[in-house]
Amino acid sequence: MTRNVGPEDRVVRIVVAIGLAVLVYVGVLSSIASIVACIIAAYLLLSGIFARCLIYKAAGIDTSIQEQPYSSTDDRAGL
């Protein structure tokens, strides 16, 4: 599977996963909510680390934009 999560998206996913993990660790959430939060945090953390998201793949979304190679000639000028 190719990478489909961009660098900004990866950072957001990892920060949200850490935030959810802290909420679970502190005990703010109820038992069922903490289980759901753990599962979501684990998925976000893993998809952030590996830069691959199954939900993005199913939806056809790709936030990892490949940069175009730098060109020293200006093609727009017709030179």
Find the domain containing 42 and state its range: 1-59
> Which residues, including other chains, have CB under 8 Å from residue 27's CB and lie 6 or more apart?
34
pTM score? 0.77
pLDDT exceeds 60 at position 19: yes
Instruction: Tell me how many domains the chain contains.
Output: 1
pLDDT exceeds 60 at position 10: yes
Task: Please provide the average confidence, as pLDDT, over all residues in the chain.
Answer: 86
Is 21 domain-assigned?
Answer: yes
> Which residues, including other chains, have CB under 8 Å from residue 24's CB and lie 6 or more apart?
34, 37, 38, 41
> Which residues, including other chains, have CB under 8 Å from residue 4's CB and lie 6 or more apart?
51, 52, 53, 56, 57, 61, 62, 63, 64
Is 79 domain-assigned?
Answer: no
Is 51 domain-assigned?
Answer: yes
Is 65 domain-assigned?
Answer: no
